Amino acid sequence: MNNLKPDITWIVKNRPKKDVNLSKKMFPVEMSRISRRFHRQIPGYSMSPLRSLPHLAQMLDVGGLWVKDEAVRLELNSFKVLGGSFALYRFIQEKLGLKDEEILYENLISEEMKRKLGVITFASATDGNHGRGIAWAAQRLGQKCVIYVHKETSKRRIDAIKSYGAIVKVVEGNYDDAVRQIVIDSKKNGWEIISDTSWDDYTTVPAWIMQGYTTMMAEIQEQFSGQGIIKPTHVLVQAGVGALAAAVIGYYHSLFGEEAPKCIVIEPENAACLLHSAKINDGKPHSIDGDLDTIMAGLACGEPSPIAWEILKETVDAYVAVPDYVAAKGMRIYATPLAGDPFVISGESGAVTLGALVAILKENGVDALRDFLAINEESQVLFINTEGNTDPIQFRQIIWEGSNPVPKEYWTDPD
């Protein structure tokens, strides 16, 4: 190890007791069953794999490393479709006053359902994957879709959204500006917003989206059970507005209460709104300004989702912010596995948690965080690869061309 100051920042929350009441309320066990029952009806559905990296775990002196690989989720290469499709399902249920047993996926996409619903335009702001999931779901319902993206969104991500029939509008500014603009335009045009972030008087749909993600969590627990593991000891989950993080962490605290795994949120250093909120420590979510410049497009968010923050502020054990090269390193580790470990295709936002773990375990100056987390040869660590190769050009630049390299002064000896 070198003697430099670490290139990551963090804050830990060493609570004598956690408040898990909201987690239990928002993510009851029955909700994951409802969500999974719906997703199982979608043609092409199958459980995404939970991959083990035993040789990397041995190198890092960790009991086990487990990667829920959402790069193979349906045809979208991202977990986002789970939340978007479930939210549209719930929206239609509420609009028509139907119960779970009264509405099946085949009914949702029928001409009869389209006649009952009339013409609807679903709208959202996105950094890429959420918008593509909404466009995919709206297309199957035979409905219109409008997606707003910020000016730094790559053409490949925009084209992927358009491929599902959506209209895409580029907004000046960052992701948060795109959210604000779609709220204004949706009111003017009568569009139905399906957003994974929340704001005043807009919490129901974001809650549905987070509940839709629990299909993935139910799968994980079933897969761990098949390995004789009751639960992971540590969960590292990436965050933008915090919806995924709240779903993952809230699910585990609903299921296990005070016995939940240690939960660590990972953010880009230039878009670390959750860590920023935790540092202020007044119980409220706080935004950060700027361009939110990061290669982790799916995490480039400056304003936490308030309903996600309500869960996270009571349950997260540590918030960690990392530079872009940490995500790029995670991508390269997945793409060049040790002999015997599986090859994993992971995008920038998907790989940052693995890169962060290596930094936490190997960088000098991180002793306090490392001691607090107590990851050792008995630990079972869970990551979620949230996306595959969703931006092929940037993926090749990182893997083939070596863009965003680890600065030489931060190279670490894996032994």
Are 207 and 94 in contact by the 8 Å Cβ rule? The answer is no
Token pair recorded at residue 115:
């006649």
Q: How many other C-beta atoms are found inside a 10 Å radius of the C-beta of residue 280? A: 11
Q: What is the end-to-end Cα distance of the chain in Å, rounded?
A: 10
80 is an active site residue: yes
User: Which residues have CB under 8 Å from 378's CB, separation 6+?
Assistant: 63, 233
Token pair recorded at residue 149:
């993206």
84, amino acid identity: G
User: Which residues have CB under 8 Å from 28's CB, separation 6+?
Assistant: 254
Pairing of strands 121-126, 262-268: unpaired
Pairing of strands 192-193, 318-322: unpaired
Q: Which of 80, 144, 262, 329 is catalytic?
A: 80
The neighbouring-strand residues paired with 381 are: 65, 234
The neighbouring-strand residues paired with 237 are: 265
CA pseudo-torsion sign 121, 126, 132, 137: negative
Q: Give the length of the chain.
A: 415
291 is an active site residue: no
Token pair recorded at residue 50:
């939970």
Q: Which of 7, 127, 317, 341 is catalytic?
A: 127
The neighbouring-strand residues paired with 68 are: 50, 384
The neighbouring-strand residues paired with 67 are: 51, 383
User: Which residues have CB under 8 Å from 6's CB, separation 6+?
Assistant: 359, 363, 364, 365, 366
Q: Tokens 């061309």 correspond to what residue?
A: 401
Q: Tokens 């219109």 correspond to what residue?
A: 144
Pairing of strands 192-193, 167-171: unpaired
| Of 305, 308, 326, nearest in space to 316 by CA | 308
Q: Tokens 């107590």 correspond to what residue?
A: 374
Q: Which residues are catalytic?
A: 80, 127
